[in-house]
Amino acid sequence: MLAGAPGSPAQLRFPSGIALDSQGNIYVADQGNHRVLKLSPRGEVLASWGSYGSGPGEFDRPFSLAVDPQGSIVVADTNNDRVQKLSASGVPLAAWGSRGAGPGQFDQPEAVAVDRHGDIYVADTHNHRVQKLASWGQPLAQWPLPNPGPRLSSPAGLAVDRYGSLFVSDWINDRILKFTPSGQVLARWGREGERPGQFEIPFGVALDAAGNLYVADWGNQRIQELSPTGEPLAQWGGPGTAPGEFHDPQGVALDVQGNLYVADAGNNRVQKGTLVTALPSATLSPAARAGDAPRLDAAAW
């Protein structure tokens, strides 16, 4: 069964973030239950960490998480205005941040990502910026840079590629921004709408091995795939509760086999699916009807 479905031991409540480790284990930011769940590749519950609170290892609506190169779990502890790091066995290792607008302070951080060096990127959502921290929590940089150019408005999703380029879902502006490792804007993709490559409140983002970007297009109840140059390639989903349908999808992740995992927040579940492309991107209609667009074949866990 899908994680979070009736009868599942996971019993998710508005899951909003998802990440995988090198063994294929799945970590879920179970926002409404104020905890992190660890699931096996088959969806079996392996561990549950955290409860409501502000102490070490406690959470207040954790929105997102990521796994660093050492296997530690980095969590956006959103309503506590901080980032926590847990060991692979769930032991609290560190917590950084407090409410504010200075370096290393946050206002409702909603997303985290980790690069291959272990540096941490934080979507400091209500401060309308992204901060970069060293693996030990020292503030290193923030974006956008203080010069003319695109401004962020409530960033809500992050992904970092192998070259250190940063992808940000700029959700109020209904677009994706791509930054260089030094914080210069490389590209901007999307605007408000329902057509391929357009968005209605984009949230989580994730990259596959080829550099294609997957976007949880929250308001359009779908997942979109973009090429490394921002070209729309495919879309999956639609509103509903059936396998492959979504209600407010928020987090996305991919495993090494290319399977897609979606934190289907409004349906209180996580879906794992195999991407089945039925049509080339050139034939995608502005509002694809059921059966016309590529499918997400949801797999049972």
List, for residues 84-99, the tens digit of each pLDDT value: 999 999 999 999 999 9
What is the signed CA dihedral for 141, 147, 148, 151, rounded to 10 degrees? 30
Cβ burial, residue 21 (10 Å; 0-12/13-18/19+): middle
**DSSP structure string for 36-79:** EEEE-TTS-EEEEE--BSSSTT-BSSEEEEEE-TTS-EEEEEGG
Spatial contact of 261 and 274, defined as CB atoms under 8 Å apart: no
pLDDT at site 292? 40
List, for residues 98-137, the tens digit of each pLDDT value: 999 999 999 999 999 999 999 999 999 999 999 999 999 9
221 phi-psi bin (left φ>0, alpha ψ -120 to 50, beta other): left
The reported pTM is: 0.91
Residues 6+ apart with CB under 8 A from 56: 84, 92, 95
